[in-house]
Amino acid sequence: MNRIILGRTGLAVSVLGLGAGGDSRLGSGRVAEAESLRLVRAAIERGVSFIDTAEAYGTEELIGKALREVPRDRVVLSTKKTTRLDAPLRPEDVVSSLHASLERLGTDHVDVYHLHGVLPDRYADLRERIVPVLLRLREQGKIRFLGITEAFAADPTHAMLAQALRDDLWDVVMVGFNLLNQSARERVFPLTRAKDIGTLIMFAVRRALSRPERLRELLADLAARGKVARALADEGLDRLLVGEDVASLPDAAYRFCRDEPGAHVILSGTSSVEHLLENVRSIEAPPLSARARERLVEAFAQVDDVSGH
């Protein structure tokens, strides 16, 4: 498995990260617990060393069980505190939530602790009232690095991260980036690279890049709004990948994200060991050709208002 340094954290991590959120996350649907445990262990056996979860996902306990016999220093653990609540988040809630996460994960510290899904109009308040709590928890050794994640489906233009990256508080950010919406290239990555902030890439592949009918709907909408060429809506993305040795559109999408300057860990959420191994092969595959990347960049140059969900 390819490895990379996660920005200023100095952590050496796998380029593919196991994401425990999303529609097809481990433990979802009717997937038996034993299969989910097998999935986490299979990921580790294949060299995946970065695992991301959150209290909101309901997967921390599964991950804790799967890692019970794994040396703690073999895995970088990332989890999150929900911020999209009806009432303002209280400092004491952060402390109790972190302690509960640590108990479920079976560890005395998390490597990266995020404020989760922060909306643009909530950022300033969370910075003033909640960040001091995170800093104290870091001083106590319960958190190693501070992170923040955007709500990409609601904030596809990265308005929240535009605020957060002006502050020198965050060691890691989670940002939406995929071949349909590449706006982070101009709006996020120059800032994270300048400050050596680690990046976790979410939405590399979601419904639009894994379900042909959803992609057709999205491309038709984008073409109707003048965001992409009509020919692209009519013919799909295959014509942009002519001559490329790709197993599937998701394969191309993972490789596209992996090779983006400024991208560190590409998150993959799945409940299937077979699917996980397909994504591992994509991360380990050769790069797309320069010409294919140029075609993909040019085709979606005007798009910044979709997530690909």
> Per-domain residue ranges for the chain?
1-298
Active-site residues: which are they? 57
| 46 vs 9: CA distance, rounded Å | 23
Can you tell me which residue has the tokens 């920005």? 7
pLDDT reported for residue 32: 76
- Contact, 133 vs 100, CB < 8 A? no
Two structure tokens written together for 105: 């994960």
Mean pLDDT by 10 residues, the chain (309 residues): 96 96 71 86 96 94 94 96 86 96 98 97 96 98 98 97 97 98 98 98 94 95 97 93 95 98 96 92 97 97 94
pLDDT reported for residue 30: 62
pLDDT reported for residue 109: 98
- Contact, 98 vs 107, CB < 8 A? no
Q: What fold, for 1-298? A: TIM Barrel (3.20.20)
Q: Which of 288, 295, 218 is nearest to 257 (CA)?
A: 288
pTM over the 0.75 mark: yes
| Burial zone of 255 (CB within 10 Å; 0-12 exposed, 13-18 middle, 19+ buried) | buried
Two structure tokens written together for 108: 């005395």
| 152 vs 175: CA distance, rounded Å | 7
Rg (CA), the chain: 19
pLDDT reported for residue 34: 87
